[in-house]
């Protein structure tokens, strides 16, 4: 199984009227896993504040495969599948597993960095690009070029 960056119990407030995990809770679990990964890689909130940058998403796609029920525990993996060489644009594939190791959902995100002062798209400072490029990657990871 891929590297897990978040594990959490499904709470009652995350259940919908069909008695399974509501759609937006999958996105919440995936977002938390990305934040945990960034923190582990040295891009926690303190450093991002110092760099005056933050991650933003252009696209978030959720593919639902199996139901997740109340009181289950989910585990979320996170791997980068493409990125520009300068780290300015990136994509991650995340997998959400139930406690029985069943793949319940796949989350695909495309994102970038925003300059928190200018409120415009930004690039990573050159001194941290190499560290960002050490993120866990899919087997088919590729470097992309600006279009």
Q: Count the helices and strands in the chain (H runs, E runs).
A: 3, 7
Q: Is residue 146 part of a domain?
A: no
Instruction: Note down the domain range covering 73.
Output: 4-140
- How many domains is the chain partitioned into structurally? 1
What is the per-residue pLDDT for 16? 95
CATH number of the domain at 52, please.
Answer: 3.10.129.10
Q: Phi and psi (nearest 5°) for 56? A: -130, 155
What is the per-residue pLDDT for 1? 41
Q: Is residue 145 part of a domain?
A: no
Helices (H), ranges, the chain: 23-40, 45-51, 126-132
Antiparallel, parallel or unpaired: β 73-84 and 53-64: unpaired
What is the per-residue pLDDT for 2? 59
* Model confidence, pTM: 0.93
Whether residue 98 contacts residue 105, with contact meaning beta carbons closer than 8 Å, is answered with: no
What is the per-residue pLDDT for 125? 93
Tens digit of pLDDT at every position of the chain (147 positions): 458 889 999 999 999 999 999 999 999 999 999 999 999 999 999 999 999 999 999 999 999 999 999 999 999 999 999 999 999 999 999 999 999 999 999 999 999 999 999 999 999 999 999 999 999 999 999 999 887
Q: Is residue 10 part of a domain?
A: yes
């Amino acid at each position: 199984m891929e590297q897990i960056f978040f594990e959490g119990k499904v709470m009652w407030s995350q259940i919908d009227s069909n008695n399974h995990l509501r759609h937006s809770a999958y996105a919440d679990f995936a977002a938390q896993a990305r934040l945990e990964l960034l923190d582990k890689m040295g891009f926690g909130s303190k450093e991002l504040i110092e760099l005056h940058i933050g991650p933003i998403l252009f696209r978030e796609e959720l593919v639902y495969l199996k139901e997740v029920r109340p009181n289950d525990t989910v585990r979320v993996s996170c791997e980068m599948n493409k990125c520009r060489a300068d780290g300015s644009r990136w994509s991650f594939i995340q997998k959400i597993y139930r406690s029985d190791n069943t793949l319940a959902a796949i989350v695909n995100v495309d994102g970038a960095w925003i300059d928190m002062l200018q409120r415009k798209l930004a690039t990573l400072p050159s001194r941290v690009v190499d560290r960002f490029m050490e993120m866990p990657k899919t087997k088919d990871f590729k470097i992309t070029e600006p279009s």
